[in-house]
Amino acid sequence: MEGLAWGRRYVMVEPTHFRVEYVINPFMDPADQPDPARAMAQWRGLVAAIERHGGVVEALPQRADAPDMVYAMNLGLGLERAGGAPHVVLSHMRYAERRMETRSAQPWFAAHGFATSYVGSDGVGPHLEAGDAFAFGDALIVGYGPRTEELALKHLATELGVRVRGVRITHPGMYHLDLAFCPLDEHRALVCPAALDEASAAALLDLVPEPLVLTEEEALTTFCANSIVIGSTVVMPACPDRVRAQLEEWGFEIVLVDVSEFHKGGGSIRCLTNPVDVRIGRDLPAVPGGEVVLA
């Protein structure tokens, strides 16, 4: 099997200042702090697993005043265009506690050859968080609601000249789409319909030719949708037996990596890794002026 066409180059943030300092999602509790040494060991174990299975990792230093910066997925949406420079649309975080992260990320991306742009600025909407956006099929699929605002979808479509298919997130525990959706290849994806309203859940399932449907419990207790795919290898924090059986039947190799210290901040493997090699030029056809399709 060919596996996923992107997901071999990742940006991560070393967890030198990771802690739970505030509460912006249901998993965070300042009374339950991550162990710094264990978190660092788990992060290094994830880097090693990615590199062992054919991925490349580039690391940014973590700002001392940005404890959530380790969740690098939300720094920005990194894309490659055929014949053009790679492009990162930097996130405009809904919560002020995270907005300083892009002030360090933008110079790093620029110095590494990425063109950068923004949706929203200085606390003025619309808010866009990259953990809500995935390339799949003929479009970017973007979740909106808890973090990303609906208006951001039009800005994103216009900026990139692509079709954006919006799905409304309604579950407080799956506040980013990356907790409920994980593309596996061009035809398959992990999908948790419970994260979305009824119309969006039906629309997303229609968009995926072969969905592996997750229950609410599977998504919330194992973070299994918050995984990454390197070719035909799925790097996961946990894998329920039923999910494992289907993935293996499809020909995927499953690699488990313990990142439980990071679950205390509400994120797992996908949240810790930002793929910056999404090939928008080949996978997503250009749409002059962009287009937004809502469920």
CATH number for 169: 3.75.10.10
Strand partners, 59: 12
84 lies in a domain?
yes
Parent domain of 202: 9-294
Distances (CA, A) of 121 to 35, 135, 146, 166: 34, 24, 18, 22
In sequence order, what E strands does the chain have? 9-13, 56-60, 76-80, 87-90, 115-118, 133-136, 139-144, 163-168, 181-183, 188-191, 210-213, 228-230, 233-236, 253-256, 274-275, 278-279, 291-294
How far apart, in whole angstroms, are the C-alpha atoms of residue 261 and residue 203?
34
Which SS3 state, helix, strand or coil, does residue 263 take?
A: helix
98 lies in a domain?
yes
Q: Which of 80, 103, 83, 108 is nearest to 93 (CA)?
A: 103
> How many domains does one find in the chain?
1
75 lies in a domain?
yes
Residue 281 pLDDT: 47
How far apart, in whole angstroms, are the C-alpha atoms of residue 231 and residue 234?
8
Residue 147 pLDDT: 97
**Ordered mean pLDDT values, 10 residues apiece, the chain (295 residues):** 86 98 97 98 98 97 97 94 81 95 94 89 81 93 97 92 95 97 96 98 97 97 97 97 98 98 98 90 64 88
- The overall longest dimension of the chain from CA atoms, in Å, is 50
**Alpha helices for 10-94 (secondary structure H):** 36-52
Residue 159 pLDDT: 85
3 lies in a domain?
no
4 lies in a domain?
no
**Tokens (6 digits) for 130:** 């990259």
Q: 240 exposed, middle or buried (CB, 10 Å; 0-12, 13-18, 19+)?
A: middle
